């Protein structure tokens, strides 16, 4: 059976890993990733398309310069994208988040195993937790970078806005505001770092204790050792 200290440390890491898993599910399920206002010119007027969307679906509203508002419309992101770049980047973000979900689940399993037992295999111990937490954190960071790139550099909102209305001409300007679904990924990143810190402190304390047990033998007189 593991010591009380080990159980406490790995149980704390297990809680952070499970929280990370739950939050990734929330990120995938919700559509509050970004709110965009995209302005286009049209014959004798300008049109503002207001968008709220995530990775899978979203809503859009159309406002004409005179103040006329068109009813809210729901759309599927994948169906509204025609550009290969924006569509492939969106799919890549979904795949990355699914992989991070799996690594978070594996990390939860490894911390749970260590909280209730002392596994013989080295990889099932702290090394495994380090590995899966690090991979999960890196994947989340990549997703956090790719999504703004898809919006700012590749014009994801502008492309979705064109699918919500007809007779739009040249794009004038866009304004974007990232929602809680996006910023939750920052919290997931912090939870992964917290898990790594907890396991590091446990591993460091175990290593220090092991060195203390070895020191009396190293410092003992040679005649005593020979005896």
User: Within a domain: residue 163?
Assistant: yes
Q: Provide, rounded to the nearest whole percent, the portion of the chain with pLDDT above 70.
A: 84
% helix, strand, coil for the chain, step of 5:
65, 20, 15
User: Within a domain: residue 157?
Assistant: yes
Cα of 21 vs its chain's centroid, Å:
10
Question: Please, which pLDDT band fits residue 171 given cuts at 50, 70 and 90?
Answer: confident
CB 89 within 8 A of CB 150: yes
User: Within a domain: residue 211?
Assistant: no
Q: Which of 23-27, 45-49, 66-70, 80-84 has the highest mean pLDDT?
A: 23-27
- CA–CA distance, 174 with 155 (Å, rounded to integer): 9
pTM, two decimals, is: 0.85
Q: What is the CATH number of the domain that holds 14?
A: 1.20.140.150
- Which among 113, 101, 112, 107 has a CA at the least distance from the CA of 131? 107
Domain that holds residue 124: 4-204
Q: Give the three-state DSSP class for 209.
A: helix
User: Within a domain: residue 214?
Assistant: no
Q: Supply 166's token pair.
A: 């007809």
Q: What number is the average pLDDT over the span 5-14? A: 86
Domain count, the chain: 1
């Amino acid at each position: 059976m593991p010591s009380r200290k080990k159980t406490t440390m790995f149980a704390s890491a297990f809680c952070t890993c499970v929280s990370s898993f739950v939050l990734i599910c929330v990120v995938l399920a919700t559509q509050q990733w970004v709110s965009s206002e995209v302005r286009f010119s049209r014959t004798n007027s300008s049109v503002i398309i207001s968008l709220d969307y995530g990775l899978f679906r979203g809503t859009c509203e159309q406002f004409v310069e005179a103040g006329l508002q068109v009813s809210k419309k729901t759309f599927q992101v994948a169906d509204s994208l025609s550009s290969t770049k924006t569509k492939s980047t969106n799919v890549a973000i979904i795949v990355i988040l699914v992989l991070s979900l799996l690594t978070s689940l594996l990390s939860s399993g490894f911390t749970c195993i260590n909280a209730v037992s002392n596994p013989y295999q080295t990889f099932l111990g702290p090394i495994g937790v380090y590995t899966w937490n690090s991979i999960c954190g890196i994947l989340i960071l990549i997703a956090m970078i790719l999504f703004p790139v898809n919006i700012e550099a590749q014009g994801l909102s502008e492309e979705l806005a064109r699918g919500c209305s007809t007779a739009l001409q040249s794009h004038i300007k866009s304004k974007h505001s990232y929602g809680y679904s996006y910023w939750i990924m920052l919290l997931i990143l912090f939870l992964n770092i917290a898990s790594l810190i907890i396991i590091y402190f446990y591993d460091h304390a175990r290593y220090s204790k092991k060195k203390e047990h070895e020191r009396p033998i190293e410092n003992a007189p040679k005649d005593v050792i020979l005896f």
